[in-house]
Amino acid sequence: MQSSIEMNEIGNLVCETPNNEKRSEEKYIKERKERKQGRNWTKEEDKKLIKGVEIYGESKWVEISKIVGSRTRKQCRERYINHLKKNIDTSKWKKEEDEIILQQHSIVGSHWCSIALYLNNRTARSIRNRYYSLINKQTNTSCFKPTTLTHYKILTSSSWF
């Protein structure tokens, strides 16, 4: 009997975590940076960004982000390339463009920048979004929709309604 009590005591000692581990975990949680909530770009930030691109070009994003002041280099680059560049085409999508997107995706996969070379002035992000919206439209079509008026009459004129 004494041996079983000793075994339980040993098991308890093994299962307990030392205070050092608890403290290091708490310290890790405190040191971990909190993710800041995203915020919209202001007109003033956009003006600073455009001015920075005019000064440094489209390659020195660290310096450009210093001009903007409140944004990282990655944020500045993405904002400029996807929204502020002068030659971005934001017009309605054409059938020909949709066909090119689907065709090129079947050839090169999800290399959106490669597909963008075939479409004038469309961003890789807009092409990606368009591709997924096309795919969702194709998968959301139901096979249960009545195709003719007679099917509709049969479905609605049932006696149990």
Closest residue by Cα to residue 126 from 91, 151, 95, 159: 91
Spell out a b/e string for 118-154, using b for 16 or more CB atoms within 10 Å of the CB, else e. ebeebbbebbbebbeebeeeeeeeeeeeeeeeeeeee
Mean pLDDT of the 135-156 span? 61
Q: Does residue 73 surpass a pLDDT of 80?
A: yes
pLDDT recorded at residue 38: 81
Question: What SS3 class is residue 135?
Answer: helix
Which of the pair, 61 or 24, is modelled with greater confidence? 61
Is residue 67 within 8 A of residue 53, CB to CB? The reply is no
Which of the pair, 61 or 157, is modelled with greater confidence? 61
pLDDT recorded at residue 139: 79
Question: What SS3 class is residue 72?
Answer: coil
- Burial (0-12, 13-18, 19+ Cβ within 10 Å), 53: buried
Q: What domains are defined for the chain?
A: 43-84 (1.10.10.60), 95-139 (1.10.10)
Task: Measure the N-to-C terminal CA separation of the chain; round to a whole number of Å.
Answer: 76
| 115 φ, ψ (degrees, to nearest 5) | -70, -35
Q: Amino acid identity of 69? A: G
Q: What is the pLDDT of residues 90-110, one digit of tens each?
A: 999 999 999 999 999 999 999
| 140 φ, ψ (degrees, to nearest 5) | -85, -5
pLDDT band at residue 137 under the 50/70/90 scheme: confident
